[in-house]
Amino acid sequence: MLNDLFRYIEDEKLFNSDEKLLLTVSAGLDSMVMTDLFRLAGYNFAVAHCNFNLRGNESDGDEEFVKNYCIKHKIKYSVKHFDTKKIASEKGISIQMAARDLRYKWFDYLCDTEGFIYYATAHHKDDQIETFFINLLRGTGIAGLHGILPRQGRVIRPLLFAGRDNIEEYARKNNLSFREDSSNSKVKYLRNNIRHRLLPVLKEINPEYRDMLTGNIERFRETEKVYRREIDRMKRELVFSEKELIKISISKLKSIESRRTLLFEILSEYGFNYAQVEDIINSIDAISGKTFFSETHTLIKDRNEFIIAKSESENEENIEIYSDTSYLINPENITIKTIEKTANFKIIPDPAFASFDKSKLEFPLTIRKWKQGDFFYPLGMKNRKKLSDFFIDEKISIIEKQKIHVLTSGNDIAWIIGYRIDDRYKITGRTKSVLLLEVVR
């Protein structure tokens, strides 16, 4: 096992022998074997253990076990307690997802503060195969078929060369103690269901199923590299950015035979799943305005494009601007200054700039989201106009409208930010003091 570990680390170029590593250790069989192998190998490492407080005395027993092992072998260790159930409830996510997020954030923190280059998890060949079937059943596309990668960012998996049988044999031959997590036997979890029900059947059909599937996963990984290059090429042809929005050309998408696959690869980056992609594809010939939501983004079918934007908070607070305010960061990056109007003064003909007769403004000014029913007097016009009609005339897309803010003076809209000011607040021959605002993109 030790020789195989050396060979695997070298083949995969996981890390240099002098680099400082963090081992994530649960007290279970896999992580204890990994720790023991790293100890014998003489690598520079420390141990991190998470107590998620989910199994009462059993969780505390795991913590004590890891501490005692580290003390016995003079290994530096860190322990962190989490109120996992409370955090899962507050965030509205599963306990498993909460635990995953908590541990990885903590591991990253330890790397940042303690100088660890990588942190190692004890995933092995059987975990690789289980993950392959989980992804296959959940429909994650070709990305899910490459299984667990040997290295991903800061995470390394140095035991992927070994099967569960190899790990059990190592622990048995070396009288290595470990603790069994009672939840590993519960088949209500998909991974355990695969482990205890599916894999035994595969072993009965083909005793060498591990090597066969691992070989296939390697080939899928190589295939994905070719696939990714072609996907990236096609994305460059039909995806473009404009004013912090992502736009996908509908006409170009319709000309592509494998449009569902391509659109899934584009939209999965923004949290959309394959079922949603099917609905989006079916909306290609529908009227404009159909809207789709992921957890983080909004997609709207517009006239000629699908438009994607990060979802805006519905509870956004209004921002006040006082006469001496000089800069805003949220919800827009805006510089603000007062200048005296001289004979050489010229209005900048750019919608990112707005020049006002300061004496006409009522402070504090307010920045807020526009809303239905809002109206203003567009610069150069004497009649008022609804903002919704102005947006139609300017051919502003539905999703761009959702991001638009207005500057108000009293109850009046003085500026549709980034588009046009109100005629009532324009610079005239009698203006003495100018308030100049610039949207910094």
- Write out pLDDT tens, residues 193-241: 998 899 999 999 999 998 899 899 889 989 988 999 999 999 999 999 9
CB atoms within 10 A of CB 407: 25
**pLDDT over 70 percentage in the chain:** 97
pLDDT on residue 185: 58
- For residue range 286-334, list pLDDT tens digits in order: 888 888 988 888 999 988 999 998 876 655 678 999 988 998 887 788 9
Is residue 184's pLDDT more than 80?
no
> Domain 2-218 belongs to what architecture?
3-Layer(aba) Sandwich (3.40)
The full length of the chain comes to 441
pLDDT on residue 438: 94
Concatenating the DSSP letter of every residue in 86-145 gives HHHHHHT--HHHHHHHHHHHHHHHHHHHH--SEEE----HHHHHHHHHHHHHHT--GGGG
Q: Which residue has the tokens 């290295």?
A: 151
Is residue 81's pLDDT more than 60?
yes
DSSP-assigned letter for residue 312 = P
Residue type, 369: K
The predicted model gives 381-407 an average pLDDT of 89
- Please tell me the distance from the alpha carbon of residue 122 to that of residue 225, in angstroms, as a whole number: 25
Chain center to CA of 360? 45
Chain center to CA of 365? 35
Q: Residues spanned by CATH 3.50.40.10 within the chain?
A: 319-439
- For residue range 246-273, list pLDDT tens digits in order: 999 999 999 999 999 999 999 988 989 8
Q: Which residue has the tokens 């591991």?
A: 107
Q: What is the pTM of this model?
A: 0.61
pLDDT on residue 317: 78
H/E stretch holding 362 reads: none
Residue of 236, 239, 248, 244 lying closest to 281 (CA atoms):
248
Does residue 364 have a cis bond before it (omega within 30 degrees)?
yes
* Average pLDDT taken over every residue of the chain: 91
Does residue 349 have a cis bond before it (omega within 30 degrees)?
no
What 3-state class would DSSP assign to 227?
A: helix
Is residue 25's pLDDT more than 90?
yes
- Please tell me the distance from the alpha carbon of residue 22 to that of residue 10, in angstroms, as a whole number: 18
Strands 155-156 and 118-120: parallel
Q: Which CATH number fits domain 319-439: 3.40.50.300, 3.50.40.10, 3.10.20.90, 3.40.50.720?
A: 3.50.40.10
Q: Residues spanned by CATH 3.40.50.620 within the chain?
A: 2-218
pLDDT band at 274 (very low <50, low <70, confident <90, very high): confident
pLDDT band at 93 (very low <50, low <70, confident <90, very high): confident
The HSE-up count of residue 241 (CA atoms within 13 Å, CB side) is 3
H/E stretch holding 67 reads: helix 57-72
- Please tell me the distance from the alpha carbon of residue 190 to that of residue 202, in angstroms, as a whole number: 17
- Please tell me the distance from the alpha carbon of residue 242 to that of residue 160, in angstroms, as a whole number: 43
* 321 neighbors 311 (Cβ within 8 angstroms): no
pLDDT band at 400 (very low <50, low <70, confident <90, very high): confident
- For residue range 105-150, list pLDDT tens digits in order: 999 999 999 999 999 999 999 999 998 998 888 777 777 788 788 9
